[in-house]
Amino acid sequence: MGTAPASKDVAILEIANLSLSFGGVQALMDISLEVKQGEVLAIIGPNGAGKTSLLNCMNGFYRAQQGDISFQGKGISKMPSHKIAELGIARTFQQIELYTHLSAQDNLMAGRHIHFKSGMLDGALYFGKAHREEIEHRKAVENIIDLFDMEAIRKKVVGFLPYGQRKLVELGRAVVMEPKLLLLDEPMAGMNVEEKEDMARFILDIWELKGTTIVLIEHDMGVVMDIADRIVVLDFGRKIAEGTPQEIQTNPAVISAYLGQE
C-alpha cells in the first residue's frame, strides 16, 4: 500500500463487548475492536458470521442489546442512523440502495444532503448563502465524478446502468458525504475481475487522497490481502482473530473457519 494518513495509533471508533440477538438467534457475541484513524480495516468471515450485523450496529441501523460503540470519543450506541451520518460515518450496502429513477449526478448530489445548511426561504429565492452552497455542493460532486471516471455516465439514469457502474455510483454517493469513516459492505460483490480491480483502485484513491478511514467487508481474499492494513475475522458472531494480513493468513483458527473453505 501507499503512505497512509497519519495517527494510525489513534482509535476513531471503539466497540466494547457488543452483543446482538434476534429472538433466539445470536448474531454478535461480546465483540470488542478498535478502528484506527487512517487505516483500512477488513472484516471477513463465512456467510452468516455477523459481518453486516456489525456494520449495521456501527451506523445505527441495528441497536445492540449489550455493549458500547463510540466514535471519536462520543457514544453512538443509542443514536439514530441519520445522526450518526451527520457525525461523519457513511456506508454502502450489499444490495444497492440508489434512487434508480435519477441520474448518477443527481444521486451524488443527494449524498450531499447532510451538508445542506441554507433555509427554505434562501433556497426558494436562490441568492446569497443558498447560491454559494449550491456551488460548493456541485464542486464536491464534480470532484467525485473526476476521481471515479464517471463522466460518461453522469447524466444516465441509474436504473439503466450495468451493475458494476451502479456499485460505483453508490460508492461515490457515500464518498461525496466527506465521511471521516467509510463503511463498505461487499463493494465488489458480483463484479468481474476488471471491475474489482477498478473498485480496489478507487477505494485506495479515497484512502490516499482524502485520508478517509475505511472498514471493508469483502469475500475476495486476494483483494483483502492487498488493500487492508488489518483484518478482523468473525465466525458465528464471535471475533476469532485480529491482525495484519500476514498474521491472518497463517492463523490456524482462521484457516479452519474460513480460508480453508472452498
Residue 262 resides in a domain: yes
Q: How confident is the model at residue 111 (pLDDT cuts 50, 70, 90)?
A: confident
| Total count of domains within the chain | 2
Residue 200 resides in a domain: no
Residue 199 resides in a domain: no
Residue 203 resides in a domain: no
Three-class secondary structure of residue 186 per DSSP: coil
Same domain, 116 and 246: no
CA-closest candidate to residue 231, choices 218, 121, 140:
218
Q: Give the count of beta carbons closer than 10 Å to the beta carbon of residue 178.
A: 17
Same domain, 130 and 251: no
Given the DSSP bridges, would you call strands 66-71 and 181-185 parallel, antiparallel or unpaired?
A: unpaired
Range among 67-76, 191-200, 245-254 rated most confident:
67-76
178 or 4: which leads in pLDDT: 178
Q: What is the pTM of this model?
A: 0.86
What is the C-alpha to C-alpha distance for residues 197 and 203, in angstroms, rounded to an integer?
Answer: 10
Residue 201 resides in a domain: no
Among 64-78, 95-109, 165-179, which is the least confidently predicted range? 95-109
pLDDT at 65 over 90: yes
Contact 215, 91 (CB under 8 A): no
Contact 42, 216 (CB under 8 A): yes
Domain range for 84: 1-88+181-190+213-262
pLDDT at 258 over 80: no
Residue 128: per-residue pLDDT: 57
Boundary residue ending a domain (125, 154, 178): 178
CA-closest candidate to residue 11, choices 180, 199, 254, 205:
180
Same domain, 170 and 219: no
Same domain, 30 and 74: yes
91: phi > 0 → left, psi -120 to 50 → alpha, else beta; which? beta
CATH number of the domain residue 225 falls in? 3.40.50.300
Same domain, 39 and 163: no
Q: How confident is the model at residue 1 (pLDDT cuts 50, 70, 90)?
A: very low
- The predicted-structure confidence for 229-251, as pLDDT tens digits, reads as follows 999 999 999 999 999 999 998 99
Q: What is the mean pLDDT of the chain?
A: 87
